[in-house]
Amino acid sequence: MDKNLDQNLQKELRREAIKRNWLLFKQSKLGMIGLYIVIFFLFLALLQPFLFITGIWNKGVYDPVVGYEAIKDTLLVVECPNEYPTEKYESYTDCPSQGEITVKQLYMAPGVEVGDMYETFIQPAPPSKRHLLGTDSLGRDVFSQIMEGSQVAFILGLLSATLGVGISTILGTIAAFFGGKIDAYLMRQSDLILMLPSLPLLFIISAFAELKVWHLAVVLGVLGGLGGSVITIKSQALQVKVKPFVDSARITGGSNMKILFSHVLPNVAPLALLFMVFSVTGAIASESVLSFLGLLNIDMSWGIMIYLSQTDGFIFSGMRYWWLILPAGLAVTFLAGGFYLVGRGLDDVFNPRLRKR
Amino acid sequence: MAEYILRRIFQLIIVFFLFLVFSYLLFNAIPGNAFSSLLLNPALPPDAYEKVLETFGLDKPLSERLQLYIVNFFKGDFGYSYKYFPKTPIELIAERLPRTLMLFSIVNIVAFYTGFFIGKVLAWRRGSKAETWITVTSVFSYTVFYPWFALMMLWVFGYKLGWLPIGKFLYPEKWYDAPFDSDVVFTSMIKFTVVISIIQFLAYIASRGIESLSFRRNIRLSSLIVIFIGSYFYWNQGQALIEKPYAADIAYHMILPVMVVTVVAFAGTALLTRTTMMEVLKEDYILTARAKGISQKRIRDRHAARTALLPVVTSFIFTIVTIIDGSVLTEQIFSWPGMGQLLLQSVLEEDIPVAMATFSFVGIFALIAHLLADISYSYLDPRIRIKSQG
């Protein structure tokens, strides 16, 4: 009976604490904006499987990797001038402009002359009702690719951040708690990881292992978890270790393990959570950079979308193919920024000195 | 203290040794080797490949090669580059390092000053509309997908507007009859930048003690003017006059990378300064200063900002350590032939001696910086106990 009451009280207290923290978090405007951004991308990530299962989207058309649809369009056949600028075109990049095609491109189709209307399938098709963000150069739906990319980003970011922070929290607390040789070993180990240049190291790893999303998440998590964050978590744990309640727990006869897990770890946890949110940002950015350089064995992600738009030469064609350039880059930026802002908001909650009042 | 430092240096040597072994094995784990492409050439006689392997000692077993490499490394012999054969890795690094340092030292100095100033103002104007917008902008530039952003900037300024060059660090046609190579110009540019920043720093230090805010500002402004006049005279005399057009060419190519990296890099400093400054503003001595009736600006600049500077400077030191690592992507996008590109190319082409040399260069740099940071911490902050660090 007594024990039951105690448990109920604890539950109540925990609920109260969560409620209080939520109220504090809500006060930070930027943190809420970040939360909305993250929720928006989570919604996108979950929406795609829903659309496929309910049959609203046909897999053959909307699949982000193998889907295909050609949009039929009629184009005006024109001839590009030899010298620029002319009245119609400012430079050679403007010819042919939207809705036009040059005669030179049609050398395979005899009998077509300047001024004719020519019916063709255009491949990077501009946004329409059927394809909200248009299609890419292979006729795949860009909006569906963005959704697939956000699934990849969430899986990768959350998995690697959880793994990394798990490792670094446990190692950092152990290093602070036991000190001595264990501490020296762990610190030198993180020195070793920090010494390796991160991007070239990932290149080497991708050279002898075919990296899929899961593998990359594990690699990033382990590298992040053994590296610099151990040092930060350790310094936090050192501050907890000298608090009076740890001493009193020891005096009342708590074992090392008991003190470590029920007194030190819970007090390091807020910082660890903060670290996790921030390292999601890093993981998303690393994945995009590696995909951007074409080193990953992933079918579709935001980095690969940018990589394709760069290798196909669309990124230097300006805003004419904006739906190939802007959505992917902005998605990476906004999701990383969203997680960063959530981290800021949590910082306000856990660090009382940052609050307004 | 001395015992601690000695022990740390001993550990450092062990870590470095492990680092060498680990990276050597890592490079050798990549399938193929630097000369695999010779096998694809049908014009070569069949034994040519084996001959080349023998010349470079690649036919020996891995354990023997590792042993040889490490012994030679500590003798100061880093071997020869596979790809740029008669050159040694040291020569290559000496050629590439000034270019990277030139680019990134300017970026870091500019980013640090602007970041610190903006962060200071942000924390001070907390809650205002301007603060929200500047914070949103800094978060955007902090988390923006960097390669994408750099390419967009290249498109806007290099291609659409045509104001700035798209890549490379000089126009080769301007250098056909140059009496020296670009490294000479780079070295004198670095010297010039260092002298300027030392003068500016000295002026800053000297004017720190001056009480009157306007007088202090005037002194700093006049030091800037002195620097401008001095640099005008410097570039119009002797050797510098000959180097001037070439230096101008390099500087012209530097504008875009410096601008892009600064936009990305300043935000980190600004956001960190904002946080530390907010923490400091809660301290009791700020309240005391306010109660004494000291002007707001003085509290901001002399009481709060100075204390907030400490963690920012620490993170700045660590940023300097990661310059070469961070330059990889930038130099790849702007085709700037510096250390980052050397590192990347040597890794991708499996030019093991060069890759090992650059890796260990970066590694030694990082290790020494960490050691210095640890020692200065325990020196400055008695709360960090040396004993617990083993």
pLDDT in tens, B243-258: 888 888 888 888 899 9
Q: How confident is the model at residue B185 (pLDDT cuts 50, 70, 90)?
A: confident
Strand partners, A117: A76
Chain A neighbors of B328, CB-CB under 8 A: 197, 199-200
Kindly give the pairing relationship between strand A117-122 and strand A71-78.
antiparallel
The reported pLDDT for the residue numbered B378 is 64
Instruction: Flag whether pLDDT at A278 surpasses 90.
Output: no
* Among the ranges given (A52-61, A209-218, A263-272, B208-217), the one the predictor scored with the smallest mean pLDDT: B208-217
* Burial category of B195 from C-beta neighbours within 10 Å (exposed 0-12, middle 13-18, buried 19 and up): middle
Residue A223 touches partner B, C-beta closer than 8 Å: no
Contact A275, B116 (CB under 8 A): no
The reported pLDDT for the residue numbered B379 is 63
* Among the ranges given (A110-119, A150-159, A319-328, B295-304), the one the predictor scored with the smallest mean pLDDT: A110-119
The reported pLDDT for the residue numbered B385 is 47
Q: Which of A191, A277, A308, A342 to mutate to test the interface with B (most CBs of B within 10 A)?
A: A191
Closest CA to A40 of A284, A348, A337: A337
Q: Which helix (H) or strand (E) holds A89?
A: none
Instruction: Flag whether pLDDT at A277 surpasses 70.
Output: yes
Residue A310 touches partner B, C-beta closer than 8 Å: yes
Largest CA distance in chain B: 88
The reported pLDDT for the residue numbered A36 is 94
Which amino acid type is present at position B201? F
Question: Average of pLDDT values for B80-91?
Answer: 86
B62's CB contacts (< 8 A; 6+ apart) are B25, B28
The reported pLDDT for the residue numbered A356 is 60
Contact A196, A132 (CB under 8 A): no
**A69-78, B121-130, B341-350: range with highest mean pLDDT:** B341-350
The reported pLDDT for the residue numbered B382 is 53
User: What are the tens digits of pLDDT across the range B291-332?
Assistant: 888 888 888 877 787 777 777 777 777 777 777 777 888 888
Question: Average of pLDDT values for A261-267?
Answer: 82
- Any idea what the Cα angle at residue A233 is, between residues A232 and A234, rounded to 5°? 90
Which amino acid type is present at position B155? W
Compute, in degrees rounded to 10, the torsion defined by CA atoms B182, B187, B193, B197. 160
Compute, in degrees rounded to 10, the torsion defined by CA atoms B294, B295, B297, B298. -30
Instruction: Flag whether pLDDT at B388 surpasses 80.
Output: no
The reported pLDDT for the residue numbered A164 is 92
Radius of gyration of chain A (CA): 27
- How far apart (Å, rounded) are the C-alpha atoms in residues B375 and B354? 32
Instruction: Flag whether pLDDT at A5 surpasses 70.
Output: yes
Residue A285 touches partner B, C-beta closer than 8 Å: yes
Average pLDDT, rounded, for chain B: 83
What tokens does B70 get? 């490490």
The reported pLDDT for the residue numbered B389 is 41
What tokens does B182 get? 């670009």
Q: What is the DSSP letter of A74?
A: E
Kindly give the pairing relationship between strand A100-102 and strand A71-78.
parallel
Closest in A179, A187, A353 to B279, CB measured: A353
Percent of chain B with pLDDT strictly greater than 90: 1
Query: Could you write out the DSSP letters of every residue in B80-116?
Result: --SSSTTS-HHHHHHHHHHHHHHHHHHHHHHHHHHHH
Q: How confident is the model at residue A334 (pLDDT cuts 50, 70, 90)?
A: very high
Question: Average of pLDDT values for B340-354?
Answer: 87
- How far apart (Å, rounded) are the C-alpha atoms in residues B96 and B346? 13
Q: How confident is the model at residue A354 (pLDDT cuts 50, 70, 90)?
A: low
Closest CA to A327 of A100, A34, A131: A131
Percent of chain A with pLDDT strictly greater than 90: 11
Rama region for A150: left / alpha / beta (φ>0; ψ in -120 to 50; rest): alpha
Strand partners, A74: A119
User: What are the tens digits of pLDDT across the range A23-45?
Assistant: 888 888 888 999 999 999 999 99
pTM score? 0.84
The reported pLDDT for the residue numbered A2 is 64
The reported pLDDT for the residue numbered B386 is 45
Complex confidence, ipTM: 0.81
Test A184 with B19 for CB contact under 8 angstroms. no
Question: Average of pLDDT values for A296-307?
Answer: 85
For residue A319, count other CB atoms closer than 10 A to its CB: 10
Report which of residues A29 and B374 the model is more confident about. Answer: A29
DSSP-based three-state secondary structure for A257: helix
Chain A neighbors of B139, CB-CB under 8 A: 30, 337, 340-341, 344
Average pLDDT, rounded, for chain A: 83
